Amino acid sequence: MLVTLKNILKMAEAKGCAIGSFNTPNFESLKAVIDVAEELNQPVIIMHAQVHEEMGLCKMDEIAPIMLFMADRASVPICVHLDHGTDLDYVKKGLDLGFTSVMYDGSTLPKEENYANTSAMVEIAEKYGASVEAEIGSMGARESGNGGGESIYTDPSEAEKFANETGIDALACAFGTVHGIYLKEPKLDFARLDEINKAINVPIVMHGGSGVSHEDYKKVIALGVRKINYYTYMAKAGGEAVSQKKYGQFHDAANDAIAAMKNDVKNAITVFSGK
């Protein structure tokens, strides 16, 4: 059942839990995530990231129809989201394809431009009945690991102003997680997250969510995180599973990778859902 980000995050708020938000750049990862969500009877967010297209993975117009089809026929609520859209035209294309939610990421732009572009995107998405996530502060090096620095952590009063002025449905905040493999254990700034949570009245999104300890997941959820973006450690689980064996045929490798990714996603959704 296809739902918007706004609605799925309302479900998370009502239960005081977080929704797992997984990048699904190919059919194997898509199948792994949806199968687990249905097995656990939990809502889930599936995401296409603009950066994955640049890395040679599926293009948005190739993967979006499959994501939407799989989400629509699923037995659980699923939001189909565009992750880190950095170009307004690309994000608009995502809305035309039917994404129920988009992230416009202007976090590396001058502040005024991020405000203006995000506000414009909120107005456009409204016409499609879609939700908008945006980011203030920055996660540092995208998808490469341990690139962030404290100087770009989200400022709580800026977060309040940004959320109020742009009218977004969810805010991605930087408080110590990074995309990619953690080269050292992440140290999250819980005091900052607490301040942001008290200052804003939209749900908080934690990017760089894979590779974080179960204890830290529980703490950030208690401090208002309602969407946890997750990909690297699921992809790593799939990669590691197939590097152990020699395969004659790709479909056998694909099946083993799906099983390993399912196992990783199951652990993540179980913690995020508060079980």
Give catalytic residue positions.
83
229: contact with ligand 13P by CB under 6 A? yes
**Which 8-state DSSP code applies to residue 246?**
-
Using CB under 6 A as the binding rule, whether residue 24 contacts ligand 13P is answered as no
CA angle (252, 75, 254) in 5-degree steps = 10
3-state secondary structure at position 256: helix
**Residue 100 binding ligand 13P, by CB under 6 A:** no
Minimum distance, C-beta of residue 24 to ligand 13P, in the bound complex (Å): 11
Nearer to ligand 13P, 143 or 155 (CB): 143
- Smallest distance, Å, CB 56 to ligand 13P? 17
The 3-state secondary structure of 160-208 reads: HHHHHHHCCCEEEECCCCCCCCCCCCCCCCHHHHHHHHHHCCCCEEECC
Nearest-10 crossing angle of helices 88-97, 60-73: 40
Q: How far is CA 83 from CA 45, 77, 119, 269, in A?
A: 11, 18, 17, 19
Examine residue 114 and tell whether it contacts ligand 13P (CB under 6 A). Answer: no
Interaction of residue 227 with ligand 13P, rule CB under 6 A: no
Which amino acid is present at 212? Answer: V
The β-bridge partners of 136 are: 173
Q: Per rule CB under 6 A, is residue 23 in the interface with ligand 13P?
A: yes
208 is a site residue for ligand 13P (CB under 6 A): yes
Q: From the list 99, 217, 231, 272, which residue makes contact with ligand 13P (rule: CB under 6 A)?
A: 231
Asked if residue 195 binds ligand 13P (CB under 6 A), the reply is no
Q: Which stretch binds ligand 13P (CB under 6 A): 56-64, 94-102, 230-238, 267-275?
A: 230-238
Q: Does 135 bind ligand 13P (CB under 6 A)?
A: no
Report H helices in the chain: 5-15, 27-40, 50-54, 60-73, 88-97, 111-128, 156-166, 190-199, 214-222, 232-243, 250-272
Among 197, 260, 273, which residue's Cα sits nearest to residue 45? 273
Q: Are 44 and 269 in contact (CB under 8 A)?
A: yes
Does 180 engage in binding with ligand 13P (CB under 6 A)? yes
56 vs 248 by CB, closer to ligand 13P: 56
Task: Name the DSSP class of 145.
Answer: S
Closest to ligand 13P by CB, 118 vs 229, is: 229
Q: Should residue 226 be labelled a site residue for ligand 13P when binding is judged by CB under 6 A?
A: no
Q: What string of H, E and C letters represents the secondary structure of 72-97?
A: HHCCCCEEEEEEEECCHHHHHHHHHH
Which of 6, 48, 81, 207 is the binder for ligand 13P (CB under 6 A)? 207
Candidates 114, 230, 257, 258; binder of ligand 13P (CB under 6 A) is 230
Q: Judged by CB under 6 A, which of 25, 85, 203, 209 binds ligand 13P?
A: 209
By CB under 6 A, residue 238 contacts ligand 13P:
no
Task: Note whether 83 binds ligand 13P by CB under 6 A.
Answer: yes
Residues that bind ligand 13P (CB under 6 A): 23, 83-84, 179-180, 207-211, 229-232
